[in-house]
Amino acid sequence: MRLIIAEERWPIAGSFTISRGSKTEAHVVTVTLEVGSHLGRGECVPYPRYEETVPQVMAALAAARDRIEAGITREEAATLQLPHAARNALDCALWDLAAKRAGQPVWQLAGLPEPKPAITAYTLSLDTPEAMGEAAARAAERPLLKLKLGRDGDAERLRLIRRNAPRSRLIIDANEGWTPDTLDRMLAACADVGVELVEQPLPAGNDEALRSISRAVTVCADESAHGLDTLDRLVGKYDAINIKLDKTGGLTPAIALARAARARDLGIMVGCMLATSLAMAPAFLLAPLAAVIDLDGPLLLKEDRSPAIRFDGSLMQPPPPALWG
């Protein structure tokens, strides 16, 4: 087995802003595993919020080269001391390689339902209320809009967005930008305009207020939700969790997390970091298990890799086998 590690930069169409800051490119790491004529690939996004960086992930993978190239299995890969993003790229590359060698799709090998076309959320980057209202008008034909909030003026943002996109379903990502003192008021403002779900309204280390607050809107854990080890502490605070492969450490633990969440009556959202179709492809296999799909990363880039997942507006098609899986 030959390991190839690569760093890639994919420009964003404009900029992408959340409560923690802005970026103009998707900075990703890819893993390629080569065995004979077969190639398996995976992509990850090291995320500073989780104390992971591109150089750190590349160095960790390089340090594990000998074990990987000896013919590592998915079970063995899970025991490596790697950043979660690195483990994700490796795990997904191993799944892709297994599919290519077996001549079977990953969904069959993993015992998952066959993926079907599904609606993904389309994200509106955080901006002034007026600018977000204008962006909503341009995206008003999309059935599901995800709004990045988490700063002063969020109630006005909600009002203008709903006015300009009256038929779209709305979900919110506050990216830990609200406080316990503003939570009641902001959840009420969300309910007033028909928001269906709010992601991570409070900081991950300061979310106990969610245990005692009543709400008419589903509250979903993102920064508070990682792997199975974090799941039980979310019960009673959150109604759903956002599963991202860069947080779980790959498709293998993401499948286990999704099944465990359903057993605890937690709803499932499948999400992504800002990345290309190669990162969306394995996450899309969780779509049949999820109530909300947020895999619009490629739609926010200037260009995607080829071959790529096809998006018919917001309708996301299953990934082509030549891309992954």
Residue span(s) of the chain under CATH 3.20.20.120 come to 118-316
Helical (H) or strand (E) element with 148:
strand 144-148
**In this predicted structure, which of 47-51, 57-61, 154-158, 275-279 has the lowest mean pLDDT?**
47-51
- Residue 45 identity: V
What distance in Å separates the CA atoms of residue 21 and residue 125, rounded to the nearest whole number?
11
Identify the CATH assignment for 2-103 out of 2.60.40.10, 3.30.390.10, 3.40.50.1100, 3.40.50.2020. 3.30.390.10
How many angstroms separate the Cα of 232 from the Cα of each of 150, 166, 201, 237, 266? 26, 37, 19, 10, 10
Residue pointed to by tokens 């995976």:
42
Among 3.20.20.120, 3.60.15.10, 3.90.850.10, 3.40.50.1100, what is the CATH number of 118-316? 3.20.20.120
The CATH 3.30.390.10 portion of the chain extends over: 2-103
DSSP annotation string for 170-229: EEEE-TT---HHHHHHHHHHHHHTTEEEEE--S-TTS-GGGGT---SSEEEESTT--SGG
The rounded mean pLDDT for the chain is: 96
**What residues act catalytically?**
148, 244
Confidence grade of residue 214 (pLDDT, cut at 50, 70, 90): confident
Secondary structure of residue 154 in the 3-state scheme: helix
Q: Measure the CA–CA gap between 90 and 136, rounded to whole angstroms.
A: 37
Residue corresponding to tokens 């992601």: 199
Give the model's confidence band at 292: pLDDT under 50 very low, under 70 low, under 90 confident, else very high: very high
Under the banding of pLDDT at 50, 70 and 90, the label for residue 94 is very high
- Dmax over CA atoms of the chain, in Å, equals 59
Q: What pLDDT, in 10s, does the model give residues 154-212?
A: 999 999 999 999 999 999 999 999 999 999 999 999 999 999 999 999 999 899 999 99
Please give the angle made by the CA atoms of 251, 255 and 261, to the nearest 5 degrees. Answer: 135
Residue 20 confidence class, pLDDT cut points 50, 70, 90: confident
Nearest to 239 by CA among 254, 228, 224, 229: 224
* pLDDT tens-digit readout, 223-232: 999 999 999 9
pLDDT band at 19 (very low <50, low <70, confident <90, very high): confident
d(Cα 143, Cα 139) in Å, to the nearest integer? 9
Helix locations, the chain, DSSP H: 54-63, 65-69, 74-77, 84-102, 106-109, 129-138, 154-164, 180-192, 245-248, 251-263, 277-284
Q: What is the pLDDT of residues 25-42, one digit of tens each?
A: 999 999 999 999 999 999
**pLDDT higher than 90, residue 126:** yes
